[in-house]
Structure 1
Amino acid sequence: MDWGSLAGLILGLIAIILGQWVEGGQIGSLIQPAPLVIVVGGTFGAVLLQNGLGNLVRGVRMLRSAFVPQADFYPALTSTIHSWSTTARIEGFLKLDGHISAHPDPFIAKGLRLVVDGIDEQKIRDILDIDITSYEREQRHAIKVWDAAGGYSPTIGILGAVLGLIHVMENLSDPLMLGKGIAVAFVSTLYGVGLANLVFIPIANKLKGHLQLEILKREMLADAFLCIKQGEHPHLIQERMSSYWHQGH
């Protein structure tokens, strides 16, 4: 669990609740089921229309990643690449075949297979570049779900406010209904803006950061496979890989 991300979300919510209390307002007035249904339902309805069901499902599945710290892949990956390059240089490319099954990552398996099969260097580069581009495009489509939610949420909140005011106008003769309608109006706007800026947009940006590191990892692997294919010395490859660590930090 990424406790920093969770703490940031909780801190934002506490700040809103504390501000309401300091101003003398009732905390219970912030809890309104109707505005929540309008904002959440309307937002994800618009997101579904824009992005389609497949991207929406993938985007929701990525939510967990926003609250899980991304492990530092560099030390272990560098050691593994050094092992591959040493094996290839001393025992030949065919010996790398035994390393393929040891890595569940399909990108790693594909890269090693291309090297073992003796594919031309330029073709290896082209194939891996296409794989990286396709992966990035698919992930960005899923992340757009949260970007879109952050864009639509405030507007849906305004629609909820308008609905609340309509309810007020319909019940001008009943003072008891006026307060409820006005509460729905203002709380809808609060939910729309609050969810956009405290939840949806931060999640989108966090996922973009995770994706950038994953793309960097794949570019590092692609470069390593080409270096191994070219027969470069393991220590030279390790030095080359160090430049990727500086890019990611």
Structure 2
Amino acid sequence: MDFTTILGIVLGIGSLLLGYALDGGHLSALYVFSAILIVVGGTIGAVVVAFPFSKLKEVPKALGMAFKETKNDPSTIIEEIVDMATVARREGVLALEQRAQEHPNPFLKDGLMMVVDGTDPELTRQILELEMDALEHHHEGYAKIFESAGGFAPTMGIIGTVMGLIHVLGNLSSPDSLAPAIAVAFTATLYGVSTANIIYLPIANKIKIRSREQISQMELMLEGILALQAGENPQLIKKKLSSFIHQKNKKAVTEAGGDNGEER
């Protein structure tokens, strides 16, 4: 379980509620079931319209990416590839067949089996890169669902507020209840904006980060598989893959800095 996702949501919502209470507001005033129904139900309805069922049924998997922490240890993968390269140089690539068949990582397993079967290196690269592209596209679809929800929610909040104001303006005969009714109407906007910026959009961003981590790990495996297939020295493979990690981390930091500077 990735507790940073849960902690972030709890901290975000808690900060809003605490700030409201410190200003003298009553938390009970923020609970308006009709506004929740309009915003949450309207957002879900819009997302259902926007995406086919084949995409919607993968929402649990998308949430799993955001809330489950994946254990990525590049150093362990490098050591494993170096060990297999040592075996391959000493006994030949066929000695890796049993190990490849039993490997728990499907991507590395497929790559090793292609090496054992004597597949052309360029074809091996093409097949594995296509697999990486397909997975990345799949993850983008996960993120787009929550990005869309983050775009719909504030609009649903505005719709709820307008509906509330219509009700208020239709009952001007009771001026004493006018101010409280307007306050209730604006809770819909609060729900829409807060859920978009604390839940939907951050979850979409977490899915993108998880996807980058997974693709980066697959790129590392791909380079290791091709080096193993080429019969390179195991220590040179280790050095190459270690440098590959540092370059990827540097690039990720640079891209993160660039994203922060973009206008949204």
Which residue of structure 2 lines up, in the alignment, with residue 2 of structure 1? 2
Change (3 A) 1:180 1:64: farther
Q: How many residues align?
A: 249
2:72/2:217 contact within 8 Å kept: no
1:153/1:193 contact within 8 Å kept: yes
Deviation at 1:64, TM superposition (A): 3.2
Where has structure 1 moved over 6 Å in runs of 4 or more?
none
1:213/1:248 contact within 8 Å kept: no
How many angstroms apart in 2 are the aligned matches of 1:218 and 1:176?
65
Change (3 A) 1:179 1:52: farther
Alignment of 1:199-214 (within 5 A): 199-214=199-214
What amino acid is the match of 1:7? L
Give the aligned CA root-mean-square deviation in angstroms: 1.9
How many angstroms apart in 2 are the aligned matches of 1:65 and 1:177?
47
Query: Does structure 1 residue 234 correspond to structure 2 residue 239?
Result: no
Which residue of structure 2 lines up, in the alignment, with residue 128 of structure 1? 128
How many angstroms apart in 2 are the aligned matches of 1:180 and 1:109?
64
Which residue of structure 2 lines up, in the alignment, with residue 153 of structure 1? 153
Query: Which consecutive residues of structure 1, in runs of 5 or more, have no partner in the other structure?
Result: none
1:59/1:146 contact within 8 Å kept: no
SS of 1:104's equivalent in the other structure is: coil
Query: Which consecutive residues of structure 2, in runs of 5 or more, have no partner in the other structure?
Result: 251-264
Which residue of structure 2 lines up, in the alignment, with residue 140 of structure 1? 140
How many angstroms apart in 1 are the aligned matches of 2:20 and 2:233?
64
Deviation at 1:180, TM superposition (A): 6.4
Deviation at 1:245, TM superposition (A): 2.2
How many angstroms apart in 2 are the aligned matches of 1:61 and 1:121?
33
Alignment of 1:149-228 (within 5 A): 149-174=149-174, 178=178, 181-228=181-228
Which residue of structure 1 lines up, in the alignment, with residue 50 of structure 2? 50
SS of 2:51's equivalent in the other structure is: helix
Change (3 A) 1:101 1:178: farther
How many angstroms apart in 1 are the aligned matches of 2:70 and 2:194?
26
The TM-score normalised by the length of structure 1 is: 0.92
How many angstroms apart in 1 are the aligned matches of 2:166 and 2:31?
20
Which residue of structure 2 lines up, in the alignment, with residue 64 of structure 1? 64
Deviation at 1:102, TM superposition (A): 2.4
What amino acid is the match of 2:159? L
